[in-house]
Amino acid sequence: MAGFVWMLLAATLSADPAPMSLGRLARPDSSVQTAAVGPFTPYSPAVGDVVFSLTENRKIALLYRFVLVGIPTHAGIVVRSPDGALGVLEAGGGGEFRTRTTPIAARFSRAGDRTVWVRRRATPLTAEQEGRLNTFATLSENAGYSKLRAFDLAFLSPHGPRGPVRTFFDGKPKGVRNDSVCSEIIVEALAYAGVIDAETARPSATAPRDLFLDRSLNLYLRRHPPLACGWLPPSIWLPDAAPCCCVKPEPKCGLLRFGR
C-alpha cells in the first residue's frame, strides 16, 4: 500500500503544471470593431499566441489610420523565458523603445491599452518550434527599437519596405536584429522558429493590422498572410472582473476605412 502511495505522489509531482488562466476571451471575430460578445472562455496563454492592442492615445491611433497602417497599434508574441515563466516578446510598446520579454501578467494589465486582442494558436507548437522561438526571444533581449523602420512602415512608397519592389525581392527574414519594430519581430521570430515559411515571410513589410486581418494593402502580403495558417481569428481579451464592453467603431468614410 505504501508503495502505491509513493508512486501516486511521484506521478503527481512529475506531471505538467495546470495551465494558467488569465482573464477571458470573447467569441473570435476578425473585425477590428467587433463587440466583445460571448460565449466567453477562460484564456490559458500558450507559446505562439499573438497579442494585439490599441492605445488609449487617440492621436496615435488616428495617426496610424491616417498613414494607412490602421489599427491595432501594437503587437507581441507569447514566449517562455529561461526560468519557465510565460511572457510577451515585444519591440516598443508601453513607453519603452527596446525589445524585451514582458512578464505576461504585467503585459495584460498594462495601463494605456484601450483594447487587447489575442490570436491563439489553433494547434500547439512542436517542442522544437517552441524551443527555437524561446531562444530567439532570449537572443533579442534588450535589442533596440527602430523608429526609422517604424516610420518607413507607415508609407506605401514604391521604394519603401512595403512597396512592391522591395517586398517581392527584398525584406526576407534576417534573424536576430539589433533593432526591430513590433510586427517585424513577430514575423522574424516565427520564421526563425520554423513556424512560418521563411521564403515568403517579409518582416520589414508587415504591420500589426496585416497580422490581425490576414489581408493587406500590400499585394504581396495579401497573397502570403503570415498568420493565416495556424492561428484562430482574434478574440477581445477581458480581465476576469471587467464588464462586457465594445470596441468603438472605426471611421466609415474616406481613407480611414481601408482594409475592411
Domains in the chain, CATH or no CATH each: 20-241 (3.90.1720.10)
pLDDT of residue 6: 37
Q: Smallest Cα–Cα separation from 39: which of 249, 235, 212, 242? A: 235
pLDDT of residue 226: 93
Instruction: Quickly list DSSP for 197-255.
Output: -TTT--GGG--HHHHHHS--SSHHHHHS-TTTTTBPPPEEEE-TTPPP-BPPPPP-SGG
CA angle 31, 109, 58 (to 5 degrees): 55
pLDDT of residue 217: 80
pLDDT of residue 231: 97
CA angle 73, 212, 193 (to 5 degrees): 100
Residue by residue, pLDDT tens for the chain (260 residues) are 444 333 333 333 333 445 678 999 999 987 776 578 788 999 999 999 999 998 765 665 555 555 546 678 899 999 999 999 999 999 988 888 899 999 999 999 998 888 999 999 999 999 999 999 999 999 999 988 776 666 555 555 554 556 566 666 667 888 898 888 889 999 999 999 999 999 999 988 888 989 999 988 888 888 999 999 999 999 999 998 655 554 444 444 443 344 43
